[in-house]
Amino acid sequence: MNKRAKSQRTFWCLLSSFTRRSLILLLSAVFLSSVAATRSTSVQIAEQQETTSQQATRAAAERLYNEGLQ
């Protein structure tokens, strides 16, 4: 092989390696961002407001607790 053919072969090997690594990096970034988005959504769901029945139950429990202290 002459020198030019060797340099072209080296170039294409490096290019394919670079492309593969870039693709892996891109997919990792997309995956991690989707995981982060899912995590923030689940936290928002966990912090929902109490329903009316929960508020009524809490008020009754506090009233009974206060009566027990007296």
Q: Which pLDDT score, from 0 to 100, does residue 36 have?
A: 73
Residue pair 38/31 in contact by the 8 Å Cβ criterion: no
Q: Which pLDDT score, from 0 to 100, does residue 40 have?
A: 57
For 53-64, the pLDDT digits (tens) are 888 888 899 988
Q: How far apart are CA 56 and CA 10, in angstroms?
A: 74
Q: Which pLDDT score, from 0 to 100, does residue 47 have?
A: 60
pLDDT at 35 over 80: no
Non-local (6+) Cβ contacts of 9 within 8 A are 1
Query: Of 13 and 47, which is predicted with more confidence?
Result: 13
Q: Structural domain boundaries of the chain?
A: 1-47
